[in-house]
Amino acid sequence: MVVGSPATFRIDGSLEAADGDGLLAAQDINEAFLQLTTPEEREHFHRHLELDFGYTLPDVGRLRCNAAQQRGSISLAVRLLPPKIPTIDELELPAICRELAMKPRGLVIITGPTGSGKSTTLAAMIQHLNFNETRHIVTIEDPIEYVYTSIKCAVTQRQLGSDTLSFANALKHILRQDPDVILVGEMRDPDTADAVLTIAETGHFILTTGHAPSATQAIERVV
């Protein structure tokens, strides 16, 4: 959503403008931004001119949103997530994903470009674990995308900004929370990568994502 352009949707990888809605005005986007965000999120946006956030539409699902300043106005990108966490079978993921989800320790990195399904793959693996094991899962996300209900596992979800200051800061204290499994939404910086590797070396199971075109390049970026 950009001022002066029609609302645009990405469908099967291609952009398509909405029919009949005309061009978006700044007021249209400002009103949408106000409805989707909390006062704390708006304060963060006005300080940093960037904001990643999530929003729940009852009976529809979660929205993953990004707000950015462009040419003096707000632009919005909104991604609709499935209302139900898909299973590994529903996503037709390889059997290795089921095996990896059940590992007692180690590091799993899901890599790929934006929109390739990294977060959904992780969610399916976490949910598989949630149905089959009794462990404490702690997630650190920016923003929280899929909301988990504790089934066999106890699930704690923390969001940057509202629950912790940064990935690195959350990871610094996480071992005192007695986790068995840790999900880090993304390794964005060297401090986070160092903390992820250190925790994996302590015998915990940690899952995360990275932007890399291949598994080899993902490892190269980490080290």
Longest C-alpha distance within the chain, in Å?
A: 57
- pLDDT at position 219 over 80: no
- 3-class secondary structure per residue, 14-56: EEEECCCCCCCCHHHHHHHHHHHCCHHHHHHHHHHCEEEEEEE
Q: What is the pTM of this model?
A: 0.86
Backbone dihedral angles phi then psi of residue 101, each to the nearest 5 degrees: -60, -25
**Amino acid in position 193:** A
Task: Tell me what pLDDT residue 213 has.
Answer: 76
Under the banding of pLDDT at 50, 70 and 90, the label for residue 22 is: confident
Containing 169, the helix (H) or strand (E) segment is helix 167-173
- pLDDT at position 72 over 80: yes
- pLDDT at position 8 over 90: yes
Tallying the residues shown for the chain, one arrives at 223
Query: pLDDT, tens digit, for every residue of 184-201?
Result: 999 888 889 999 999 999
Query: pLDDT, tens digit, for every residue of 81-121?
Result: 988 999 999 999 999 999 999 999 999 999 988 778 899 99
Domains of the chain: 8-80 (3.30.450.90), 95-222 (3.40.50.300)
Q: Is the separation of the CB atoms in 44 and 66 below 8 Å?
A: no
How high does pLDDT run on average in the chain? 93
* Beta strands across the sheet bearing 61-70: 50-57, 61-70, 73-80
Compute the distance between CA of residue 75 and CA of residue 24 in angstroms, rounded to an integer: 10
Task: Tell me what pLDDT residue 59 has.
Answer: 82
Q: Higher-confidence residue: 216 or 131?
A: 131
Task: Tell me what pLDDT residue 137 has.
Answer: 98
